[in-house]
Chain A
Amino acid sequence: GDSVTQMEGPVTLSEEAFLTINCTYTATGYPSLFWYVQYPGEGLQLLLKATKADDKGSNKGFEATYRKETTSFHLEKGSVQVSDSAVYFCALSDLPPHGNNRLAFGKGNQVVVIP
């Protein structure tokens, strides 16, 4: 079935460093791709999304490009802040015939930004 793979382990980096979180996916159709962020003690919030190949989603300085040829949707930010410390989830939404909106999540990456 459809699935999402995120790089293993937490990510710890210094303020103003460059952040990359890798995400690859397996899907039979043409899924929509999402990055969700979960700040400590809160629910998930949509960070950005892309709905077709070569689309770039961007928000709050974060970017990710839907790459069909490499089945990837890597998240990047050029200069992180302490307030970016959170868990980041890559997700895809499949397209079954009956139009469900099931989200398949990656395992999430804890990002810790040190001042």
Chain B
Amino acid sequence: DTAVSQTPKYLVTQMGNDKSIKCEQNLGHDTMYWYKQDSKKFLKIMFSYNNKELIINETVPNRFSPKSPDKAHLNLHINSLELGDSAVYFCASSPPGLAGGPRDTQYFGPGTRLTVL
């Protein structure tokens, strides 16, 4: 199946731990994203990579570090987890848009529900 996949789907951990979430897309896209969805369903972009290069880095604590080993993967590593990090994290990808033209659709993974105890 062509899709955006994330692992794990659920992640429960203690405060202070370090954890990683993996994302892979087999759609041949060159841009990938991480979003955070809070308990009120509000979605906010965290990072974006284009061809393994970081192009969007919102105001996110530096405990969060994205890593893109290749165009098809964008992993999210979180150090020293805090209670406020509990959320659903979505990975997404998109093909390139035409310069100056319409932006294309983003395709989302199923999400990783992170619970910090």
A: residues with CB less than 8 A from B are 31-32, 34, 36, 38, 42-46, 49, 51-52, 87, 89, 93-95, 98-103, 105, 107-108, 110
Contact = CB atoms under 8 A, between A and B. Distances in A.
Contacts of B43: 44, 89, 105, 108
Return the 6 tightest CB-CB contacts between A and B, nearest first: A51-B102, A93-B103, A43-B108, A44-B108, A105-B43, A32-B103
Nearest to B113: A41
Of A36, A38, A52, A99, most buried by chain B (CB within 10 Å of CB) is A99
Interface of B: 4, 31, 33, 40-45, 48, 50, 55-56, 90, 92, 94, 96-97, 99-100, 102-111
B73 to A, nearest CB: 17
Of A36, A44, A45, A107, most buried by chain B (CB within 10 Å of CB) is A44
A98 B50 CA distance: 11
Contact of B94 (A44, A101, A107): A101
Contacts of A46: 105-107
Contacts of A107: 40-42
A95 B90 contact: no
A100 B48 contact: yes
